[in-house]
Amino acid sequence: MLLTGASGGIGEALAQELAAQGAHLLLHGRRASALERLCKALPHPEHHQIVIADLGSSQERARLLQHPALDEGLDVLINNAGCNQFAWLEDQSAEQVERQLLLNIEAPIQLTRALLPRLRKPAVVMNIGSSFGAIGYAGYSVYCASKFALRGFSEALGRELEGTGIKVLHFAPRATRTRLNPEAAYEMNAELGTRTDSPQDVAEAAVIALCNETRRSWLGWPEKLFVRLNGLLPGLVDKALAKQRVIIERYARHSPPPAAGKGHPTAVMTEKEP
Ligand SMILES: NC(=O)c1ccc[n+]([C@@H]2O[C@H](COP(=O)([O-])OP(=O)(O)OC[C@H]3O[C@@H](n4cnc5c(N)ncnc54)[C@H](OP(=O)(O)O)[C@@H]3O)[C@@H](O)[C@H]2O)c1
């Protein structure tokens, strides 16, 4: 089982949940120390391996694909690694836009494409989306674009692979307390009365969705309702979110810049669900 983005947040909690259920994991991330620590703490560390790669780089993705653990074939691929930038579009640099699109949509597509011939049958591809893959939200225009695209990719590929033994699942958490989000996002959530899940709760739900092969999962209430409402009556959601716009802008404009050369590379990337 290959799990991307296992070195933190939802991915780390997923690794713990899956290992507890007996999975043999290839744990991916960029921070070797975090992955080694995680691996040692899992039940049966000898069943797990780690692989380091920046998925925004095609060379590093190619290196990941050469990992010997993948030669034996794969029964589960979880595309979980992701990043976001909580900011008005005009305040985002070209590089920040590119980073979100590369990691959140290009990387899962390219990894899945390259691994398709190595997927056993039956096999499952689970893509970790977001409520923002169905609700466009101010301050997250690029992140939403990437997660809408990931949802479309999951749905189309699932239909393409119908009857082949390979299932494609789209699993969408709402706001979750991880390093993806800066403190400003949690403060905004508190002001707007938006609930935040723990990575452990999200991981538990993801493993249930994986075991049941649930094609589409949306976590949290009222987010599930908003997702449906936005599909059917987007004008209503426009009006509801217009009331939050001033508050969102206040936090999005004050989301702190990255600490140069140190800290978590995604520490300034934030997500808040309505
Ligand atoms: N947190 C939320 O509010 C929330 C809500 C809905 C959906 N999601 C989605 O859930 C998934 C996991 O997010 P999270 O909240 O757990 O985030 P997180 O705590 O920031 O963890 C992100 C993971 O992605 C990896 N990663 C970041 N940039 C990478 C890159 N360029 N190349 C390879 N790996 C990279 C990180 O590895 P290193 O740390 O080793 O760099 C880390 O393992 C994402 O797809 C996110 O969009 C999150």
Ligand 1 center from residue 179 Cα (angstroms): 8
Task: Write the pLDDT tens digit of every residue in 83-134.
Answer: 999 999 999 999 999 999 999 999 999 999 999 999 999 999 999 999 999 9
Question: Above 70 in pLDDT, residue 55?
Answer: yes
87, part of any domain: no
User: Which of 26, 27, 30, 273 to mutate for ligand 1's pocket (most ligand atoms within 8 Å of CB)?
Assistant: 30
Instruction: Name which of 39-48, 68-77, 141-150, 265-274 the model is least confident about.
Output: 265-274
Ligand 1 atom with the shortest distance to the CA of 10: 16
10, part of any domain: yes
Tell me the pLDDT band of 256, cut-offs 50, 70 and 90.
Answer: low
User: Which of 54, 109, 174, 178 to mutate for ligand 1's pocket (most ligand atoms within 8 Å of CB)?
Assistant: 178
Is the separation of the CB atoms in 83 and 7 below 8 Å? no
What pLDDT is attached to residue 254?
A: 81
Question: Above 80 in pLDDT, residue 37?
Answer: yes
Q: Tell me what the mean pLDDT of segment 227-247 comes to.
A: 97
What pLDDT is attached to residue 272?
A: 42
Alpha helices in the chain (DSSP H): 9-20, 32-41, 58-65, 94-101, 107-115, 141-160, 183-192, 199-212, 223-232, 234-242, 245-253
Ligand 1 atom 43 nearest Cα: 5
Question: Above 90 in pLDDT, residue 262?
Answer: no
d(CA 267, CA 258): 7
147, part of any domain: yes
Q: Tell me what the mean pLDDT of segment 176-187 comes to.
A: 94
Ligand 1 atom with the shortest distance to the CA of 56: 31
Ligand 1 center from residue 180 Cα (angstroms): 6
Classify 50 as helix, strand or coil.
strand
Cis peptide before 274, with omega less than 30 degrees from 0?
Answer: no
The enclosing domain of 167 has a CATH number of 3.40.50.720
Classify 221 as helix, strand or coil.
coil
Tell me the pLDDT band of 270, cut-offs 50, 70 and 90.
Answer: very low
Q: Which positions are catalytic?
A: 143
Is the separation of the CB atoms in 37 and 8 below 8 Å? no
Mean pLDDT of the chain: 93
d(CA 127, CA 94): 25
Ligand 1 atom 45 nearest Cα: 82
d(CA 152, CA 47): 34
74, part of any domain: yes
What pLDDT is attached to residue 260?
A: 37
Boundaries of domain holding 49 = 2-82+98-174+195-232
Q: What share of the chain in percent tops pLDDT 90?
A: 92
Question: Can you read off the two tokens belonging to residue 80?
Answer: 């979980």
218, part of any domain: yes
Ligand 1, CB cutoff 6 Å, lining residues: 5-11, 29-31, 34, 54-56, 80-83, 103, 128, 130, 173, 175-176, 178-181, 265-266, 271
What pLDDT is attached to residue 26?
A: 98
User: Which of 4, 10, 181 to mutate for ligand 1's pocket (most ligand atoms within 8 Å of CB)?
Assistant: 10
Q: Tell me what the mean pLDDT of segment 1-14 comes to.
A: 98
What pLDDT is attached to residue 107?
A: 98
Ligand 1 atom 42 nearest Cα: 5
Ligand 1 center from residue 81 Cα (angstroms): 4
What pLDDT is attached to residue 192?
A: 96
Is the separation of the CB atoms in 100 and 84 below 8 Å? yes
Ligand 1 center from residue 236 Cα (angstroms): 31
271, part of any domain: no
Half-sphere exposure of 160 (CA within 13 A, CB side): 10
Q: Tell me what the mean pLDDT of segment 51-63 comes to.
A: 98
Ligand 1 atom with the shortest distance to the CA of 13: 16
246, part of any domain: no
Ligand 1 atom 38 nearest Cα: 30
Phi, psi dihedral angles at 227 (to 5 degrees): -60, -45
35, part of any domain: yes
Per the structure, the count of domains in the chain is 1
Tell me the pLDDT band of 274, cut-offs 50, 70 and 90.
Answer: very low
